[in-house]
Amino acid sequence: MKLLIGILSTLLLSACISLAQPYKLMVQTSHTDDVTTAAFSADGRQVITGSHDNTAKLWQIKSNKLLYTFVHDAWVRALTFSLDGSKMLAGLAHGDVVVWDAKARKLIHQFTAYSKYETVRRIERVMFSSDGTKFITVSYSDHVKLWDANNYQLLHDFKRVPAVNFSPDGRFIFVFNADKQKVVVWDAKTVRPIDEVMVTSKANYALAASPDGSQLLIGGGKKVVELWDVKTKKLIKVFKGHADWLKSMTFSPDGRQMLTGDGNGFVKLWNVKNGALIHTFKMPPKNITKLAYSPQSKHILAVCEERHVSIWDLRTKKQAQKIIPNKSPVTAVAFSPNSHKTLLGINGLVKLWNTQTGKFEGVLNGYKPGDRTVLKCITVLPDNSGLLTGHRGRRVQLWSLKTSQLMHTFISKGGAQSIKVSPDGSKMLVGTWSSAFELWDLKTKQSIFKDSWETKYTAWNGTEAIFSPDGSKILAHAFRDRLGLWSVKYQLPLHTFYFSKNRVEIADFSSDGSKVFALSLNDTLKKWDTKTFKLVKKWGYKQEIFHTGSVLTAKEDRQLIGTNVGKAIMWDIAQNRRKESIDRHTDGICAITFSPKEDKVLTGSQDGSAKIWDVKTRKLLCTIHANFEDENAWLIVTPDGKYDGNKAGIQYLHLVDSKQQARPIQKNDSKHTKGLLKKILNK
């Protein structure tokens, strides 16, 4: 009996350990940043894409369905499968190679191929030999290395090589030596040079070998492709038709056709035997960085530099799939003054949450389909009755927060870059994209400033404009070397503050309105007195990054700055100290604001998410996802694994274990916390 109890206890303990295995939540959607690389699976039914959002995504070609997301710790710049489909390689921007079990979708190994001491670490190409025993990595600086695929040891360093490729049978490595204007043929087994082919140009950036290794394609700066016989070392044919440099080329699996891609986005399909151009495929006017045939030659894919991936059906010549990033950044964020609402601007829409209940209240859309422009700013009225939305188009819209109905549309001459409301709620200040600002009466809905008055000062009036805390003054700048201080009552300029040829990035009043702060492009902060107009103090701020927005607390002069590296920075102006958020967005911050109690910060980012931070601890409290195809889908995730959302949003959520294996969220999951946003904001 004791033995049985002992066995059962051991099994129970083992099960508990298994259940306690650490999981993290992953939101599985389309790419949110530039798609940089792609590769067909071994059976040709799937395609893997890599992106600057640090992921590689596996897609079903026939259904266009996203099957799986592989998560990495840097930009994914290169991808390839082994010929048998058992492994996948990912080359990352910080010089690491990640090896995956492609079938089990498990992480096998990650190692550094290019260290921080090398010129450019970013990996641009990876390629397996046909037998899967070796692979090649190529960095951005054309530094080529050959690796053992079993123990990941370096077999040979080819140094700087502008073009390299395996022969399809894996027996040879073709290496272009630009200095000596020749292609050197290496034995892949012994890793020794065995032959060479002299070519006609030094400016070659791509090469490919025929399936049997007997012929070689090479091309680049001369805008032509040359076909060489490896054995006789004679030029067989020259293919002409490109108007720009060639960056990619490949043979079809049967060797009868070939693909070439240039810097203007043209992909050309050729008949190898007679040199005839069969078809031209068009992509955006950027470099074609990769071309590939599916193993059965049913499809071809082309990667356009930092844009997207296109897949064509070779029989019909029609596009079968186009994988583009869903780049819908969160361009505006706001809390209502009474803390009852949280608002995000995404893809021209406003999405609202009730923070008293934690529930999603819907979408505000004042545009017809296909007529949306970037929503740049959201401002809630001081009495919480409504909100103003500003777009890059000419419309500024007033909405009722109670009914979510559009109340009025103002026609702004230059489109809204910023919107501020006077403290008493009577006036609206619009900083426009036409380097001017507009002052409106919110009661009469009439413009206060005349056209001629604006035109007179349009040379330096700013696209960013704010009210002083008492509403008597306006501070404006146009991202130039000066700021304008204006009287609201007299509608006249009071003073111009200069920044010594350095562009002003962000500016604000102090909390009592007695001072003006401005931060320049060279990271210098200046403080002026608003009565004497004298410079009070100047600080150097060595952050060396662009700044995307600023707001000051009402209680004390702490400047909140969003940066283009995805971090929020709190700068204590009095003590000249700064504190960065501990976590970060995966892309730059577009919008930033304090909560009404000033204990939390809300940020919106280019990565399509919004985050709420704790001011005191600088820790991330939650991430809000609302950038889905379904406009009403939403999802909130905390760092400790709690989540909330509707059915349309939760379907994108997966659990990922320590081995990077993912599974969908189960119904009635214990981590599903209803009213999560309410609990976070009311802490």
CATH of the domain at 401: 2.130.10.10
pLDDT for 386: 94
pLDDT bucket at 557, cuts 50 / 70 / 90:
low
Ranges 342-346, 408-412, 436-440, 556-560: which has the least confidence: 556-560
Whether residue 660 has pLDDT greater than 60: no
pTM of the full structure: 0.74
pLDDT tens digit string along 148-198?
Answer: 999 999 999 999 888 999 998 889 999 998 888 899 999 999 999 999 999
Q: What is the distance between the alpha carbons of residues 48 and 39, in angstroms, rounded to a whole number? A: 5
Which residues lie closer than 8 Å to 169 by C-beta, 6 or more apart? 130, 211, 212, 213
- Identify whether the C-beta of residue 510 lies closer than 8 Å to the C-beta of residue 516: yes
Shortest CA distance to 54 belongs to which of 39, 80, 81, 36? 36
CA distances from 612 to 28, 141, 392 (A): 21, 39, 26
Tell me whether residue 649 is in a domain.
no
Tell me whether residue 460 is in a domain.
no
Q: What is the distance between the alpha carbons of residues 176 and 606, in angstroms, rounded to a whole number? A: 40
CA distances from 45 to 65, 254, 289 (A): 11, 19, 22
Q: What is the distance between the alpha carbons of residues 193 and 208, in angstroms, rounded to a whole number? A: 18
- Quote the domain boundaries for residue 43: 30-130+137-154
pLDDT for 505: 76
Tell me whether residue 102 is in a domain.
yes
Whether residue 143 has pLDDT greater than 90: yes
pLDDT for 618: 87
Q: What is the distance between the alpha carbons of residues 395 and 486, in angstroms, rounded to a whole number? A: 25
Ranges 23-27, 95-99, 269-273, 365-369: which has the least confidence: 365-369
pLDDT for 257: 95
Q: Is 676 helix (H, G, I), strand (E, B) or coil?
A: helix
- Identify whether the C-beta of residue 357 lies closer than 8 Å to the C-beta of residue 678: yes
pLDDT tens digit string along 228-261?
Answer: 999 999 999 999 999 988 889 999 999 999 999 9
Whether residue 677 has pLDDT greater than 80: yes
Which tokens go with 618?
A: 């600088």
Whether residue 455 has pLDDT greater than 60: no
Residue where a domain stops, chosen among 432, 449, 466: 449
pLDDT for 370: 54
Ranges 130-134, 310-314, 430-434, 486-490: which has the least confidence: 430-434
Q: What mean pLDDT do residues 530-547 have? A: 72
Ranges 213-227, 423-437, 455-469, 560-574: which has the least confidence: 455-469
Q: What mean pLDDT do residues 627-637 have? A: 88
pLDDT tens digit string along 363-407?
Answer: 998 776 555 567 888 999 999 999 999 887 778 999 999 999 999
Q: What is the mean pLDDT of the chain?
A: 84
Tell me whether residue 218 is in a domain.
no
pLDDT tens digit string along 30-66?
Answer: 887 889 999 999 999 999 999 988 889 999 898 888 8
pLDDT for 8: 32
Tell me whether residue 386 is in a domain.
yes
Shortest CA distance to 508 belongs to which of 477, 548, 532? 477
pLDDT for 669: 73
Higher per-residue confidence, 612 vs 435: 612
Tell me whether residue 331 is in a domain.
yes
Higher per-residue confidence, 625 vs 222: 625
Q: What is the distance between the alpha carbons of residues 493 and 470, in angstroms, rounded to a whole number? A: 17
Whether residue 13 has pLDDT greater than 80: no
CA angle 377, 382, 384 (to 5 degrees): 90
pLDDT for 368: 60
Q: What mean pLDDT do residues 424-442 have? A: 87
Which tokens go with 683?
A: 């802490």
Q: What mean pLDDT do residues 24-29 have? A: 77
pLDDT bucket at 454, cuts 50 / 70 / 90:
very low
pLDDT for 260: 95
Tell me whether residue 394 is in a domain.
yes
- Identify whether the C-beta of residue 584 lies closer than 8 Å to the C-beta of residue 598: no
Tell me whether residue 418 is in a domain.
yes
pLDDT for 658: 64
- Identify whether the C-beta of residue 103 lies closer than 8 Å to the C-beta of residue 68: no
pLDDT for 668: 66
List the 482-487 sheet strands across, edge first. 464-467, 473-477, 482-487, 492-498
pLDDT for 3: 37
pLDDT for 116: 77
Q: What is the distance between the alpha carbons of residues 571 and 541, in angstroms, rounded to a whole number? A: 10
CA atoms in the 13 A half-sphere facing the CB of 509:
23
pLDDT for 413: 77
Whether residue 11 has pLDDT greater than 60: no
Residue where a domain stops, chosen among 415, 449, 483: 449
pLDDT for 665: 74
- Identify whether the C-beta of residue 45 lies closer than 8 Å to the C-beta of residue 63: no
CA atoms in the 13 A half-sphere facing the CB of 301:
25
Residue where a domain stops, chosen among 424, 449, 474: 449
pLDDT for 501: 67
Domain count of the fold of the chain: 2
Whether residue 5 has pLDDT greater than 60: no
